[in-house]
Amino acid sequence: MSLAARLEKIGRPLVDEQLDHPTVRGIAQGSLDEAVFRSWLEQDYLFLHDYVRVFSRLAWQAPAAHLGDLVDLAHATYHGELDLHRSLSASFGADLDGATKGPACAAYTSFLLESAADYAGGLAALYPCMWGYSTLGRLLADDPPAEPRYRRWVDTYADPGFAELTARIAQMIDESGADPATAERLFLDGMRHELAFWDV
């Protein structure tokens, strides 16, 4: 079993916990209180700016075979995911530019930026966000919400293109020479941050 596959195996119970979280259930059912999603949208908008910085910090250390992928991932995050947040913001009354980080967002972004000081460790730490959202999107797309705004959110993370980016990160983890024990620890820490992020 590859290292990335091992991470996915130990992370799956935490994905199931996310599926059971009231925020995720509300998105899946299309019934989530708009104020809750507005808060999540603002926090995730701030998170994604630092996520781009994580990719950039890793790109500075990356082997040549990985550099282009990290640039592509930063670009996809900045122009794809952030555009989604901007386009949804008006219908939810979100104040993206006026938002400030809450405790969960600040803790998660600090963890990722610190982990990115080490290339292999940084890849393992960020994988929960890519793999977790790709997995959630795929599972929620089996019975998508009728509410169009929440359906758009599900469709974004269920998109095959997002799954391809996730698969490339998995390959890079396997090629990174990461210490398995360290990678597992950082990955699980990231998964716990993912779960805590839904408490908006």
* Residue pair 67/59 in contact by the 8 Å Cβ criterion: yes
pTM: 0.95
- Number of structural domains (the chain) is 1
* Confidence label for 80 from pLDDT (cuts 50, 70 and 90): confident
Tokens matching residue 95: 């104040």
* Residue pair 2/57 in contact by the 8 Å Cβ criterion: no
182/58 Cα distance (integer angstroms): 17
The CATH number of whichever domain residue 28 belongs to comes to 1.20.910.10
* Residue pair 183/56 in contact by the 8 Å Cβ criterion: no
Provide the residue range defining the domain that includes 106: 3-198
* Confidence label for 37 from pLDDT (cuts 50, 70 and 90): very high
Q: Tell me the per-residue pLDDT of 101-160, one tens digit each, with 9 for 90 and over.
A: 999 999 999 999 999 999 999 999 999 999 999 999 999 999 999 999 999 999 999 999
